[in-house]
Amino acid sequence: MLDTNHNIEMCSDNMSQVFGYDPPSILGMKLDKLCFGKDRDRLSKLLESALVSKDEKEIEFRLLLSDRRIRIVSATVQTLVTDDNNPKIAIFLRDITDHLNSKLFKDSFFNLSLDLFAILDFTGKVIEINEMWYEKFGYTKEELIKSGIAKVFKSDERMAAGRMYDWLKVSNESMYDYEMECCTKTGETKFISWSARSDALPGLVFLVGRDFTEKKETEQKLVESESKLSAILENTNDVIFSIDINYKLLKFNTAFVRIIEGSYGFKPKAGYSVIDPKVNTLTTMKWKRLYDLALSDRDVDELIDADPPNENLKYEVSMSPIKNEFKDVTGVAVFLRDVTERFKAQEAQLEMSRQLAEKNKDLLDFSFIITHNLRAPTSNLISLLSLYDKDHPANDENLEIMENFEASIHQLNETLADLTMAVKLREEVGKKFELLNLDEVFNNVKSKLPALESKGTIVFRTDFSTVPELIYPKGDLESIFYTLLDNSIKFAHPGRECVISVTSFIVENRVHLTFEDNGMGINLERYGDRLFGLYQRFHRSDSGKGLGLYFLNTAIKSFGGSISVESEPGKGSKFTVKLIKRESE
């Protein structure tokens, strides 16, 4: 009982039993003093309100015990008016700590748990379930209480579940991790692991379920993946195996079994040491060296000879360290591939390249002999011809013979000069690469073209915006521009204005230069296969030797480039030169 100032005037004897306070020790003390600090203001306001309204009020607050522990109490407050009109506050305290803790446990653990909880009686009727049932299966609490939890079991699982339930009731023992296939309201399959125990005294069964659907699906995918991997490993001709840090076999495929049986005459088993002292010492040391490299956390890639008696075979060996979750090396994975045929093919290719290089050298030597050793005799013949007195020949027949002889000698001399130039192009090395501006190269070449004045109006269109500059030998690039521009002008169509377009662009790290005209064009079906050959001419009006495109093609190829043409008679031609894009001079 409190006065209007909230002082304790009277308290029951059980105050000491429930809250640990001796009644005489707290008489005259304000009730607020026994209240937890943060709850005092709220309690004080309620007591004042009770004095004014005279209505019964309830409040929950934290009470400090004599040993300074805290209990949660429920207080019912009512104002009483005495005969002398002196109001008193009657307050009834009830300790609700255990009740709240039980409720908190139920709300926090039972309803908020990610597991499925259920309490059933011995008839199978649902007494209580948590909210996770609805989240997992889509059935409301009311639906499951009405129809029972067997609703979530697949039809072929219900009989087994019934037998298990009967066993629980009779045995009074616990069941752990009983896996069942269940079904949601929408027909989706869920895999649930159930644990349960029964209590005969109240006649209840307590059931806990854990959803392991994701784990099950992952396991199924892993099994499928391992099955596919196993099929791949068993159907390959490559040898695959793994060892632990003690050189003992862990896993291996059929190809490994075949090679061991063929080389050593026995069938390997898991746990067999791959460093067998019975095997030839050199062979053992060879493999141990490779294994040790991989066990020291290094990747190994080597080409080795097969073990006797198959030492004529070549194998490509790859080894990788196997590590655990702590990044420690626990073994080695080994991949072995027979590359004998590939190795033989490479050796044959190298031999062919060597022979081609020798033949090419022989051809160059022969060209050198032809162009150099014949020039001196030819020059001597020309000198001797100059001594012949054409004005006083012995007879007219001799004069005609000597004139024909002179023409042949001069033609031979020109041919030797052309061959000398062709050989020189192939022999040139060490040319200086420099950064060249394409506009400047074009304008410089244009000013040197001899046919400009004789062909009337010529329209030039250039677009070097994509590739304005190029690293290339200056003389060679100018030769490309000169030859192709000169050809476009020489073979311009007589019936229309000559238009020549030159552009540059990049395709797959290659600089493309295109030279397109609307001239006479070329019959590629007839001449395409010999367009870039020696002494090839394709127009009657062509007074040249037919060497320009040959020299151009040779020079371009010497630096890894190429040249191609698209053309149609009477419509024009388009030459495309592809050069390697260099990043530095």
Indicate whether 190 and 249 sit together in one domain: no
Edge to edge, the sheet with strand 116-121 lists 126-129, 116-121, 204-211, 189-199, 174-183
pLDDT value for 208:
92
Indicate whether 454 and 550 sit together in one domain: yes
Q: Tell which of 51, 71, 101 closes a domain.
A: 101
Number of structural domains, the chain? 5
pLDDT value for 116:
92
Give the residue ranges of the chain where pLDDT is below 50: 535-536, 539, 542-544
Residue 142 lies in a domain: yes
Determine the angle formed by the axes of helices 396-427 and 340-368, rounding to 10 degrees.
140
Note down the domain range covering 470.
Answer: 434-580
Residue 466 lies in a domain: yes
- Cα 127 from Cα 110, distance rounded (Å): 14
Indicate whether 454 and 540 sit together in one domain: yes
Residue 529 lies in a domain: yes
pLDDT value for 131:
87
Residue 221 lies in a domain: no
Indicate whether 362 and 386 sit together in one domain: yes
Indicate whether 477 and 372 sit together in one domain: no
- Cα 416 from Cα 410, distance rounded (Å): 10
pLDDT, tens digit, 9 for 90 and up, residues 343-365? 888 888 888 878 877 766 666 66
Instruction: Provide the CATH number for the domain around residue 517.
Output: 3.30.565.10
Indicate whether 422 and 440 sit together in one domain: no
Residue 9 lies in a domain: no
Q: Cβ atoms within 10 A of the Cβ of 578, count?
A: 18
Determine if the peptide bond prior to 309 is cis (ω within 30°): yes
Indicate whether 400 and 439 sit together in one domain: no
Residue 291 lies in a domain: yes
Instruction: Provide the CATH number for the domain around residue 291.
Output: 3.30.450.20
pLDDT value for 535:
46
Residue 545 lies in a domain: yes
User: In 3-state terms, what secondary structure has residue 329?
Assistant: strand
Indicate whether 445 and 573 sit together in one domain: yes
Indicate whether 327 and 375 sit together in one domain: no
pLDDT value for 417:
63
Contact 161, 148 (CB under 8 A): no
Indicate whether 73 and 201 sit together in one domain: no
How many CA within 13 A on the CB side of residue 383? 6
Q: Tell which of 427, 455, 477 closes a domain.
A: 427
pLDDT value for 354:
81
Residue 275 lies in a domain: yes
Q: How far is CA 60 from CA 13, 57, 65, 518, in A?
A: 22, 11, 15, 102
**Which sign, positive or negative, has the C-alpha torsion 515, 517, 519, 523?**
positive
| Extended strands (E) in 393-491 | 434-437, 458-463, 469-472
Q: Tell which of 338, 367, 392 closes a domain.
A: 338
Indicate whether 242 and 185 sit together in one domain: no
Percent of the chain that is helix, strand, coil (3-state, to 5): 45, 25, 30
Indicate whether 571 and 480 sit together in one domain: yes
- Cα 86 from Cα 1, distance rounded (Å): 13
